[in-house]
Amino acid sequence: MEKSKIISEKLEINVTNRCNLSCKGCSHLSPICIQHNFDTEKLRLSLNRLSDVFHCETVRLLGGEPFLSPNLQEIINIVRESKICDSITIVSNGTLINDKHKDILCSVDVLEVSDHQTGINIEYIHELTKGACKLVVLDFEAFREPYSEQGTTNSALTDQIYKTCLIANVWKCYNLEDGYFYKCPQAHTLKAIKTLFADGIDVLNTPDLKAALEKYITCKSPLSACKYCLGATGKIYSQKQVNRKEWRKEQDKPTEEMLDYQFLEKLKTKANSNNHCVKSIISKEK
Q: Which stretch binds ligand SF4 (CB under 6 A): 71-79, 113-121, 180-188, 205-213?
A: 180-188
To 5 degrees, how large is the angle CA 210–CA 212–CA 216? 115
Encoded amino acid at 285, one letter:
E
162 binds ligand SF4 (CB under 6 A): yes
CB of 168 to ligand SF4, least distance (A): 4
The CB density around residue 194, as the number of other CB atoms within 10 Å, is 15
168 binds ligand SF4 (CB under 6 A): yes
Residue whose CB is less far from ligand SF4, 101 or 183: 183
79 binds ligand SF4 (CB under 6 A): no
225 binds ligand SF4 (CB under 6 A): yes
Residue whose CB is less far from ligand SF4, 184 or 264: 184
Q: Which of 25, 94, 179, 231 binds ligand SF4 (CB under 6 A)?
A: 231
**Total site size for ligand SF4, rule CB under 6 A:** 15
Question: Could you give the CA distance from residue 212 to residue 218 in angstroms, rounded to a whole number?
Answer: 10
223 binds ligand SF4 (CB under 6 A): yes
Residue whose CB is less far from ligand SF4, 104 or 165: 165
CB of 255 to ligand SF4, least distance (A): 10
Question: Could you give the CA distance from residue 142 to residue 22 in angstroms, rounded to a whole number?
Answer: 15
For residue 92, which of 25, 185, 15 has the smallest C-alpha distance? 15
Q: Which stretch binds ligand SF4 (CB under 6 A): 17-25, 99-107, 204-212, 218-226?
A: 218-226
29 binds ligand SF4 (CB under 6 A): no
Own/partner pairs for 123-129, CB < 8 Å, 24+ apart? 125/94, 125/97, 126/284, 128/97, 128/98, 128/99, 128/101, 128/102, 129/105, 129/284, 129/286
267 binds ligand SF4 (CB under 6 A): no
Residue whose CB is less far from ligand SF4, 51 or 175: 175
For residue 157, which of 258, 23, 271 has the smallest C-alpha distance? 258
Q: Which residues of 17-54 are buried (b: 16+ CB within 10 A; e: fewer)?
A: bbbebbbbbbbbbbbebeeeebeeeebbbbbbbbbebb
CB of 184 to ligand SF4, least distance (A): 3
Q: Which of 108, 184, 209, 259 binds ligand SF4 (CB under 6 A)?
A: 184
What are the CA-CA distances from residue 266 to residues 55, 203, 251, 271 (Å)? 32, 35, 24, 8
78 binds ligand SF4 (CB under 6 A): no
Q: Which residue ranges make up the site for ligand SF4 (CB under 6 A)?
A: 161-162, 165, 167-168, 183-184, 186-187, 222-223, 225-226, 229, 231
